[in-house]
Amino acid sequence: MKIKFLGHAAFLITSKDGVRIITDPYKPGCFDGGIKYEPITEEANIVSISHEHDDHNETAIAGHPSFVREAVEKDIEGIKMKGIRVHHDESGGKERGMNTIYNMLIDDLNVVHLGDLGHALSKEDAAKIGKVDILLIPVGGHFTIDAKSADAVIKLLKPRVAIPMHFKTDKCGFPIAPVEDFTKGKDVRKIDGELELSKETLPPETTIYVLPPSK
């Protein structure tokens, strides 16, 4: 599969058969210009939306995709999607509502997008998520888990690949931390463009890849 980081929490994941999944697409200019990433013009077959905030729920996506919301289980064009209900905050959803984690079986790899996870995961949560090959994890804090909490989640889920998202850039005006707060002191692989992975090329132990926003 190929993984392209569009920006914020949005990725384009393309399976070996050409099925295209876009995760948590943002509305450009939302939150009074807080999101400055360019519009998403890529086509998709499937769009996953972890929660209904404008930096995660754009519907103007080309390709007439199937939209997946809430904690559902679906098989769409050979991609198995499973949603796990968690919270957007540490107060059981009282501050920012609910969030859905998506486990996506793509090319025999379990790709997990944590959305705007706002709290530590329990062992029960981890059991629901199951095996994780590739983890797309927020690290910026304030609205989501921060770098320290992200480390704990990675330790719990033990992914083979971890890719940070939802961090401060010059196109994100939110009061969140840059990716360097998460990567500091870690052995990190920086990718210039798309990341291509398969079951055969997964690293043997957890490896962090940092992808540049393409928008």
Indicate which CATH number applies to the domain containing 195.
Answer: 3.60.15.10
Under 8 Å between Cβ of 77 and 19: yes
Distance CA 26, CA 106 (A): 23
Q: Do strands 79-87 and 98-106 pair parallel, antiparallel, or not at all (unpaired)?
A: antiparallel
* CA within 13 Å, CB half, 154: 25
Ranges of residues in the chain whose predicted pLDDT is under 70: 87-97
pLDDT for position 212: 94
Specify whether the CB–CB gap between 14 and 45 falls below 8 A: no
Provide the pLDDT for residue 72.
85
Tokens 């360019």 correspond to 38
pLDDT tens by residue, 12-67: 999 999 999 999 999 999 999 999 999 999 999 999 999 888 988 999 999 999 99
**Residues making up the chain, counted from first to last:** 215
* Residue 91: per-residue pLDDT: 55
- Structural contact between residues 162 and 205, judged by C-beta atoms closer than 8 angstroms: no
CB within 8 Å of 55: residues ≥ 6 apart: 8, 9, 24, 26, 27, 30, 31, 34, 35
- Evaluate whether residue 138 is within a structural domain: yes
Domain count, the chain: 1
Measure Cα distances from 116 to 88, 167, 186 in Å.
6, 11, 23
The pLDDT, as a whole number, for residue 89 is 47
Question: Distance (Å, rounded) from C-alpha 167 to C-alpha 174?
Answer: 9
The token pair at 156 is 């719990």
Domain span at 7: 2-210
Q: Do the domain assignments include residue 149?
A: yes
Does a structural domain hold residue 58? yes
Q: What is the pLDDT of residue 94?
A: 46
Could you say which DSSP state residue 40 is in?
P
Answer yes or no: is 215 within a domain: no
